[in-house]
Amino acid sequence: MADAVDVWVTGIGLVSSLGEGTEAHWSALSSAGVTVPRIDVDRFPPYCVHPLADGLNVNRLIPSKADQKQMGMWQRQGVHAAGLALEDAGVLGNEPLLDRTELVVAAGNGERDEALDSRILASLAERSADEAGSALNATLMAGLRPTLYLGELSNLLAGNIQIVLKVTGSSRTLKGEEIAGLSAFEDAARRIETGDATMVLVGGSLNAERHDILLGCELGGNLWQQPFVPVWQRAEAGGGFVLGSAAAFVVLEAAPHAEARGAKPYARLAGIGANRARREAKGDIQTSLAGVLESIGFAGSRAPFAMLSGASGVEPATSEELAFLRSIGSERSATGLRAYGTALGHAVEAHFPLGVALACLALHRSAFYPPFESSDIEQPIESVPDSILVTCVGHWRGEGLAIVERVSAAAEGAV
Amino acid sequence: MTRALTDRQGRPVIVVTGMGLVTSLGWGKSQNWSRLIAGHSGVTPITRFPTDGLRTTIAGTIEAAASSTYSAFALSLAIAEAAADEAITQAGIGSPGRFPGPLLIATPPSELEWPQLRKLYEAAAGRDKSGYERLLGAARSGTFSELARHIEFASIADAVQNHFGTTGEPLSICTACASGASTLQMAAERLRRGDAEAALCVGTDATVHPEGLIRFSLLSALSTRNDAPEQASRPFTRSRDGFVIAEGAGALVLETYAHAKARGAAILGVVRGAGEKADSFHRTRSKPDGSAMIGAISKALRDADATPEEIDHVNAHGTSTPENDKMEALSLAAVLGSRLAEVPVTSNKSQLGHTLIAAGAVEAVIAFLTIGNGVIPPTINHNDPDPDLHLDVVANTGRAAQVRTVLSNSFGFGGQNVCLVLAGEP
């Protein structure tokens, strides 16, 4: 669209296994030692997870203990990351502005009460089918905590951001695993481009350290069960993801609005799109991604770019994505490919928001990440990319891409 | 008279060309409409599962095909597909299995239910362990992959997309009990932006299972009037004591007016505008001054370029909880002012119960049927109007009325407020 408003990223909030905030993430990921990520192999055998960094203190951004008690961990870390993003954008506590700020969250479910579930299952196992129904009623009536149910609801991460941080322009929650994260950014960006919004807080959060989420993922056969290896190295053993606890939020803002209040951009979101292949035949995912690349106006670009892949490790999605990235990389001036899931784990709905945040950090710092694994797939690069392609291929559904671009480069017409 | 294809702000006019409906009153618009205007209730004692020990034992459930076993996934999908099929057939759009636009669908939580958890727990694999490790052991055996669809959030959207051949990446939306309305709002935005010429909007919810019921019960949100189920939902009365949980699906085909006219489609109505405002007060209650609900209604009118005088009917959220009905009446008065006294208000939830995630879509369909038929369905069980709520409630029997423009409200837990302005053909 010729008169589309430029969409800038003016704030970033991150928490993950590597720590809290942009500085911690940049310093961990831009140093060469990250090829050994932080993983926990003891708590959920045979699975490993990337646990949230120790010592996250949410008291500063979520000062009310009553609020904290109403939330599950995914909500606490999510609200905290959202607060960091607002603070980074210089708008934390600016209630008149936040009352006009829109909120778009990508979410699944929050934590169930695992102890209660386990108790009920054990007691039902000893009963006849006839007795089980009324026993279940009695146990749930006595044991279910209403606040915990509110901790599980998909849209209650957004609800808690509204309550704690006062972001109240509007509130939308999108579901559907990884691609929900991209759809959230797409909805936000399109509204800014057309002038329907000026500032949007967008992101997601995942608490990976839960049996209930591991159960859901394992029913689909998605979990990596072997000793940890990087994302690109799992295909031969059938593939799989290693979940990572993380929350990522960014502030997307109309460029004129940011300039008027003196806010500096990390980068601009230059293009974003998604599609959904049926994935019935080999190559469906590659074809779908090629279509998306075309639709977001990047297909004809010859400017050098780097690639931050959100690949999960699940097959065949990961191998098909790699084939697609290699094909465009060889056709054009792609200068480096990184699967950030190797370093941070897979954060499902929050995974694409993480990727956008990492792309912004690299562009802002005028550098790119060293390889997250030692193989011919991820090669060190010398040059500084002006744009980064962030991929979002759902482990079972949805294929999406986004282009994040250096603002100065765009201003100089280097697109 | 030329009928403008753009609105006063120069945006494409968004019209509705097909609608489908499944509720506890029946399958299809025709059956629903005749029962709605006759004042029937779809609320009955629950027979799907044992209810002993529960405070609430009634609901507005939908009977699935006799051969099928209930699960929230299976029934939510079945009614979504039935409603969408009715809507697409009426619209006569595309060709079978090829709908020319995206799907925007409001779906209930994706989670394992107790029969499924028990099945995993009883499986041979993992029996040497307890609790979730035992469940994980069973899952690891790979023999329960058919259960994955219950916990994959994209699965209902995926199945509906496969069935009807909608294009692009479908959106699964959750704005709690405003979700159905959000599908219409987000579809209208896409069509106005020119991202698409048509869209399929669906809201679906079939989550009357023990835990689904007990959660709301423990939040003291449900009516406990179990002895007279059909009289339990009584919005805007003094004796209202909570909502009745219910199931339903509503589907609407939206198109740009230009697209619909070009293919000669019959126009059922116009989505004139939508507004949303988030609340920051409490997880289940709205700001005491009503400012968020007021904001949503005001933004909807502004988006539609409609004055309060143009609103001639309110299809209320009207859940029959003490809190909602009071706050909704307060908010309507604040925005519509003196006009409110002349505006008939009705709550379909008096008859259907609260269809939760689906409600905004279900009630949008009923609002367009109201416009098309010139009859407002009644708010049944309205025998003791709450004297503090100054509303012209369409009490107990339907009312013939020339309805051009309807305000349809949807409010949800988590401070979600979405309002739609729906109108007849230009």
* pLDDT, tens digit, 9 for 90 and up, residues A313-351: 999 999 999 999 999 987 777 789 999 999 999 999 999
Cβ contact B231:B250 at 8 Å: no
Q: In the prediction, which pLDDT does A399 show? A: 98
Q: What is the mean pLDDT of chain B?
A: 96
Domain match, A136 and A219 both:
no
Q: What residues contact B151, with CB distance under 8 A and at least 6 apart?
A: A216, A219, B110, B111, B112
Residue B246: burial class (beta carbons within 10 Å; 0-12, 13-18, 19+) = buried
Q: Is there a catalytic annotation at residue B354?
A: yes
- Name the residue range of residue B137's domain: 114-149
Q: Is residue B2 part of a domain?
A: no
Q: Is residue B200 part of a domain?
A: yes
The domain boundary, picked from A126, A148, A170, lies at A148
3-state secondary structure A73-142: HHHHHHHHHHHHHHHHCCCCCCHHHHCCCEEEEECCCCCCCHHHHHHHHHHHHCCCHHHHHHHHHHHHHH
Q: Is residue A296 part of a domain?
A: yes
| Partner residue facing B278 (CB), from A103, A122, A174 | A103
Domain match, B179 and B269 both:
yes
Q: Is residue A103 part of a domain?
A: yes
Q: CB pairs below 8 Å between A and B: how many?
A: 222
Q: In the prediction, which pLDDT does A272 show? A: 98
Alpha carbon A246 to chain centroid, angstroms: 8
Distance CA B212, CA B210 (A): 6
Q: Which of B259, B313, B317, B382 is catalytic?
A: B317
B66 pLDDT above the threshold of 90? no
The total number of structural domains that make up chain A: 2
Average of per-residue pLDDT across A191-200:
97
Question: Which CATH number do you get for residue B239?
Answer: 3.40.47.10
Domain match, B307 and B371 both:
yes
Q: Which residue has the higher pLDDT, A2 or A274?
A: A274
Confidence of residue A412 (pLDDT cuts 50, 70, 90): very low
The domain boundary, picked from B124, B149, B174, lies at B149
Distance CA B59, CA B247 (A): 8
Residues of chain B with pLDDT > 70, as a percent, come to 99
Interface contact A196, partner B, CB < 8 A = yes
Domain match, B248 and B291 both:
yes
Interface contact A103, partner B, CB < 8 A = yes
Q: Is there a catalytic annotation at residue B282?
A: no
Domain match, B234 and B341 both:
yes
The domain boundary, picked from A148, A172, A195, lies at A148
Q: Which residue has the higher pLDDT, A129 or A236?
A: A236
Q: In the prediction, which pLDDT does A300 show? A: 67
Q: In the prediction, which pLDDT does B389 show? A: 97
Domain match, A130 and A209 both:
no
Domain match, A261 and A137 both:
no
Q: Is residue B384 part of a domain?
A: yes
Distance CA A234, CA A138 (A): 45
Domain match, A216 and A267 both:
yes
Average of per-residue pLDDT across B344-355:
98
Q: What is the mean pLDDT of chain A?
A: 94
Mutate to test the interface with A, among B171, B183, B217 (most CBs of A within 10 A): B171
Cβ contact A253:A192 at 8 Å: yes
**Three-state secondary structure call for residue A271:** strand
Domain match, A91 and A239 both:
yes
| Partner residue facing B53 (CB), from A138, A144, A221 | A138
Distance CA B232, CA B59 (A): 10
Q: In the prediction, which pLDDT does A330 show? A: 79
The domain boundary, picked from B99, B127, B149, lies at B149
Q: How do residues B156-192 score in pLDDT, each as one tens digit?
A: 999 999 999 999 999 999 999 999 999 999 999 999 9
The domain boundary, picked from B149, B171, B206, lies at B149
Domain match, B210 and B350 both:
yes
Distance CA B66, CA A116 (A): 33
Domain match, A140 and A219 both:
no
Could you tell me which of A256, A185, A202 has the C-alpha nearest to residue A5?
Answer: A256
Q: How do residues A202-242 score in pLDDT, each as one tens digit?
A: 999 999 999 999 999 999 999 999 999 999 999 999 999 99
Domain match, A222 and A371 both:
yes
Domain match, A24 and A123 both:
no
Domain match, B373 and B279 both:
yes
Mutate to test the interface with A, among B283, B291, B303 (most CBs of A within 10 A): B283
Q: In the prediction, which pLDDT does B82 show? A: 98
Confidence of residue B312 (pLDDT cuts 50, 70, 90): very high
Domain match, B35 and B118 both:
no
**Three-state secondary structure call for residue A270:** strand
Catalogue the E-assigned strands of B187-267: 198-205, 248-256
A201: closest CA of chain B, how far (Å):
13
Domain match, B229 and B336 both:
yes
Distance CA B32, CA B21 (A): 8
Domain match, B256 and B201 both:
yes
- Name the residue range of residue A354's domain: 7-110+153-408
B406 pLDDT above the threshold of 70? yes
Q: Is there a catalytic annotation at residue B382?
A: no
Q: How are the residues of chain B apportioned to helix, strand and coil, as percentages rounded to the nearest 5? A: 35, 20, 40
Residues of chain B with pLDDT > 90, as a percent, come to 95
Mutate to test the interface with B, among A86, A119, A215, A243 (most CBs of B within 10 A): A215
Is the Cβ pair B109, A179 closer than 8 Å?
Answer: no
Q: Please report, for residues A118, B146, B177, the alpha-carbon distance to residue B229 in angstroms, rounded to integers and kept in the order given.
A: 34, 36, 22
The secondary structure element, H or E, covering residue B397 is none
Could you tell me which of A291, A209, A203 has the C-alpha nearest to residue A252?
Answer: A203
B46: closest CA of chain A, how far (Å):
13
A316 cis-preceded (ω within 30 degrees of 0): yes
Confidence of residue B124 (pLDDT cuts 50, 70, 90): confident
Residues of chain A with pLDDT > 90, as a percent, come to 86
Q: How do residues B37-58 score in pLDDT, each as one tens digit?
A: 999 999 999 999 999 999 999 9
Q: In the prediction, which pLDDT does A35 show? A: 62
**Three-state secondary structure call for residue A24:** helix
Distance CA B201, CA A69 (A): 36
Domain match, B183 and B289 both:
yes
Is the Cβ pair B175, A117 closer than 8 Å?
Answer: no
Q: What residues contact B253, with CB distance under 8 A and at least 6 apart?
A: B16, B17, B18, B19, B87, B88, B90, B91, B93, B198, B199, B200, B201
- Give me the amino acid identity at A189: A
Question: Which CATH number do you get for residue A170?
Answer: 3.40.47.10
Q: Which of B177, B209, B382, B419 is catalytic?
A: B177
Domain match, B416 and B374 both:
yes
B102 pLDDT above the threshold of 90? yes
- Give me the amino acid identity at B89: T
Q: How do residues A14-47 score in pLDDT, each as one tens digit?
A: 999 999 999 999 999 998 655 668 999 999 999 9
Cα(first)–Cα(last) distance of chain A, in Å? 15
Q: In the prediction, which pLDDT does A2 show? A: 47
Domain match, A120 and A197 both:
no
Eight-state DSSP code of residue B265: P
Q: Is residue A259 part of a domain?
A: yes
- Does the predicted interface ipTM exceed a cut of 0.85? yes
Is the Cβ pair A187, B186 closer than 8 Å?
Answer: yes
Domain match, B98 and B194 both:
yes
The total number of structural domains that make up chain B: 2
Domain match, A398 and A284 both:
yes
Average of per-residue pLDDT across B189-213:
97
Distance CA A57, CA A412 (A): 42
Domain match, A247 and A290 both:
yes
Q: Which residue has the higher pLDDT, A127 or A286?
A: A286
- Give me the amino acid identity at A177: E
Q: Is residue A158 part of a domain?
A: yes
Domain match, A272 and A376 both:
yes
Q: Is residue B9 part of a domain?
A: no
* A window 35-94, beta carbon within 8 A of B: 70
